[in-house]
Chains A and B, each alone.
Chain A
Amino acid sequence: MTTQTPAADAAPAEAGPRPALSPRRRRRLVQGAQYVILAAAVAALVSLADWQQLQHQFLQLSVARRMFPDLLTVALANTVLYTLSGFGVGLVLGLVIALMRLSSVAPYRWIASVYIEIFRGLPALLIFIFIGVGVPLAFPGTAIPGGVYGQVALALGLVAAAYMAETIRAGIQAVPRGQLEAARTLGMSHGLAMRSIVIPQAFRVIVPPLTNELVLLFKDSSLVLFLGVSLETRELTKFGRDLASETANTTPIFVAGLCYLLITVPLGYLVRRLEARHAKAR
């Protein structure tokens, strides 16, 4: 600040012609217009929509009541089970592939890269059909252990592993090289240093993206629909669809959707919290 006297400072600021509409006023005007448009749209929706019909189709309590308790004990439980088993397979496989990507043995790196490219480049649905239909056709007599549960865990796991491998690799590479060196100078083998020093630190970095992956898997578990599941192995989407056609009503789909949101929205919130906390810790 090189101000000499307040008067000398203030004078030039006051000068200059005033524009017809100051920028601040114009912004207020535009904002007001937006509220008006919104209010009009809502009013139109409220007056034009047939609320009776909407409620009948989407929120018919008698239909919704029919969904219990199977909605929770079968459908949601299966969705969670599919998701977690796929996540488990994906995590283990992803860690292996990430370590292969970082291997000093070149062919391991190539194999890992090819795997990642293939499984990130294919639609998850294709993998499901391959596991559910292709494998039994190609190798008759072989059965994936665990029936549908095994198939889903494998299909979801194969896809998830490709994404998780890249996340885990980035996490491992984010751990400063000095950590590994310090561990090695204490006499730790490479494997022990990775297990006890590097990977635990990498996992702290990648918890948010892995949680995100969990959300994606939760939604992808709906692809079980295409595996021809039985009554006991239905998950939310299949359950909702079946009941919707049975009752000729949309309510089951609506309720199934709510169940997904019940899980995905808090998880998404958790991811943002974790990310914020991580950003602060840096």
Chain B
Amino acid sequence: MSATEGQPPAGTPSTATGPEEDTPMKTATDTAATPAEPSGAAAATSTTTSTAIEIHGLHKSFGDLEVLRGIDFTIAPGEVVCVIGPSGSGKSTLLRCANLLEQPSAGRVVVGGTDITDPDVDIDRVRRRIGMVFQQFNLFPHLSVLENLTIAQRRVLRRGKAESVHAARENLARVGLADKESSYPSQLSGGQQQRVAIARALSMNPELMLFDEPTSALDPELVGDVLSVMRGLADEGMTMMVVTHEMGFAREVADRVVFMDGGVIVEEGTPDEVLGNPQHQRTRSFLARILHPNDTPATDTP
């Protein structure tokens, strides 16, 4: 079952962008909202690209602290890339630069042919195409599960009520929570909340999904449900960039594993290469610490 069809070709003459932001809240009467989804931002080139995301020479500093020191890599459509690395190595920052939650200090990020670091790009429009799942779920606590999934469809994609509810239910079923649509986030377990967060992102029909340690805040027994939802997504061909410490997931699901340390990519390759036969000392000691946390203390601090 694919909830992700009907994405109109990019480069469609877009309807006016500005005024929709100022629509007053009370448009909830809504029955006749336009189902048309004005997609495809500024770039007319996107139809010809074969990369989901390209990152070129990405640098990011917070004041004097240089967190990313030149990152280059691309993800092909349908590819699943897991990013691993020690705490503070810049994994989250990299992910957040990929949808401009952080403004890169230098370098370019190209998503589906759109250079999103171009100041003229409508970033809100690009972000609709990029789903993001956070470590802390970040569900909207004042909205029911169903409303969490429909609010952006309604207000951003201008979908009608029936259509947005339909898409929401479809995605809730996809993450195995069809019976929770009228619950509030506080009534759900962490694992359920994270699956709702995934369904919320999917309801926007993204072409790329970013996951920032989606299972790190979960009790161990709840990790499996979330990972199996993600595995299902990968099987359906979703393009995914996943920051994770779940080496089992990386080994089984990832097409490629990227090891980061100190703001650079130290090593990347297939899971077998990077996890099975790491070439760099830093990768080896990181993996040793992750896989055997109780063994010898780390000695590789830079």
Knowing A181-B101, A192-B21, A196-B25, the reply to whether A187 touches B138 (Cβ < 8 A) is: no
How far does the alpha carbon of A188 sit from the alpha carbon of B156 in the complex, in Å?
6
Does A185 contact B21, Cβ atoms closer than 8 Å?
Answer: no
How far does the alpha carbon of A181 sit from the alpha carbon of B138 in the complex, in Å?
8
Per a CB cutoff under 8 Å, which of A186, A189, A201 touches B204? A186
How many residue pairs between the two chains, A and B, have CB atoms under 8 Å in the bound complex? 66
Which residues 180-194 of A have a CB within 8 angstroms of B?
181-189, 191-192
How far does the alpha carbon of A282 sit from the alpha carbon of B288 in the complex, in Å?
40
Knowing A182-B140, A186-B201, A188-B124, the reply to whether A196 touches B22 (Cβ < 8 A) is: no
Knowing A196-B25, A204-B142, the reply to whether A178 touches B127 (Cβ < 8 A) is: no
How far does the alpha carbon of A195 sit from the alpha carbon of B22 in the complex, in Å?
10
Determine the chain A residues whose CB is within 8 A of the CB of B101 once the complex forms. Answer: 181, 184-185
How far does the alpha carbon of A234 sit from the alpha carbon of B142 in the complex, in Å?
42
Does B138 contact A186, Cβ atoms closer than 8 Å?
Answer: no
How far does the alpha carbon of A176 sit from the alpha carbon of B25 in the complex, in Å?
22
Knowing A200-B142, A201-B142, the reply to whether A184 touches B127 (Cβ < 8 A) is: yes
Determine the chain A residues whose CB is within 8 A of the CB of B22 once the complex forms. Answer: 191
**Closest chain B residue, CB of each to CB of A181:** B101
Does B138 contact A178, Cβ atoms closer than 8 Å?
Answer: yes
- Does B200 reach chain A (CB closer than 8 Å)? yes
Does A195 contact B200, Cβ atoms closer than 8 Å?
Answer: no
Interface string of A156-185 (1 = CB under 8 A from B): 000000000000000000001011011111
Knowing A195-B25, A196-B25, A201-B142, the reply to whether A187 touches B134 (Cβ < 8 A) is: no
Does B141 contact A187, Cβ atoms closer than 8 Å?
Answer: no
- Does B130 reach chain A (CB closer than 8 Å)? yes
Interface string of B129-140 (1 = CB under 8 A from A): 011101010111
| Min CB–CB distance A174 → chain B (angstroms) | 12
Q: How many residues of B contact A (CB 8 A)?
A: 28
- Does B128 reach chain A (CB closer than 8 Å)? yes
- Does B152 reach chain A (CB closer than 8 Å)? yes
Determine the chain B residues whose CB is within 8 A of the CB of A195 once the complex forms. Answer: 25
Does B21 contact A186, Cβ atoms closer than 8 Å?
Answer: no
Knowing A181-B101, A196-B25, the reply to whether A186 touches B156 (Cβ < 8 A) is: yes
How far does the alpha carbon of A196 sit from the alpha carbon of B153 in the complex, in Å?
13
Query: What is the interface of chain A mostly: helix, strand, loop, or mixed?
Result: helix
How far does the alpha carbon of A185 sit from the alpha carbon of B142 in the complex, in Å?
18
| Min CB–CB distance B265 → chain A (angstroms) | 24
Does B152 contact A188, Cβ atoms closer than 8 Å?
Answer: yes
Does B155 contact A192, Cβ atoms closer than 8 Å?
Answer: yes
- Does A197 reach chain B (CB closer than 8 Å)? yes
**Closest chain A residue, CB of each to CB of B135:** A178
Does A189 contact B124, Cβ atoms closer than 8 Å?
Answer: yes
Knowing A201-B141, A204-B142, the reply to whether A185 touches B127 (Cβ < 8 A) is: yes
How far does the alpha carbon of A63 sit from the alpha carbon of B29 in the complex, in Å?
54
Does B140 contact A185, Cβ atoms closer than 8 Å?
Answer: no
Which residues 96-153 of B have a CB within 8 angstroms of A?
99, 101, 124-125, 127-128, 130-132, 134, 136, 138-142, 151-152
Determine the chain B residues whose CB is within 8 A of the CB of A186 once the complex forms. Answer: 127-128, 151-152, 156, 200-201, 204
How far does the alpha carbon of A5 sit from the alpha carbon of B131 in the complex, in Å?
65
Per a CB cutoff under 8 Å, which of B124, B134, B155 touches A181? B134
Per a CB cutoff under 8 Å, which of A184, A187, A189, A197 touches B140? A197
Using A185-B132, A186-B156, A196-B25 as known contacts, list a sample of 15 further A-B pairs with CB atoms less than 8 Å apart, ordered by residue number in A. Answer: A179-B138, A182-B134, A182-B139, A182-B140, A182-B197, A184-B124, A185-B127, A185-B130, A187-B156, A187-B157, A189-B124, A192-B21, A192-B156, A197-B151, A201-B142
Q: What are 14 A-B contacts defined by CB distance under 8 Å?
A: A176-B138, A182-B132, A182-B139, A185-B101, A185-B130, A186-B201, A187-B124, A187-B157, A188-B124, A191-B21, A192-B21, A192-B156, A197-B151, A201-B141
A residues with a Cβ closer than 8 A to B are 176, 178-179, 181-189, 191-192, 195-197, 200-201, 204
B residues with a Cβ closer than 8 A to A are 21-22, 25, 99, 101, 124-125, 127-128, 130-132, 134, 136, 138-142, 151-152, 155-157, 197, 200-201, 204
4 closest residue pairs by CB, A with B: A187-B128, A186-B152, A182-B138, A178-B138
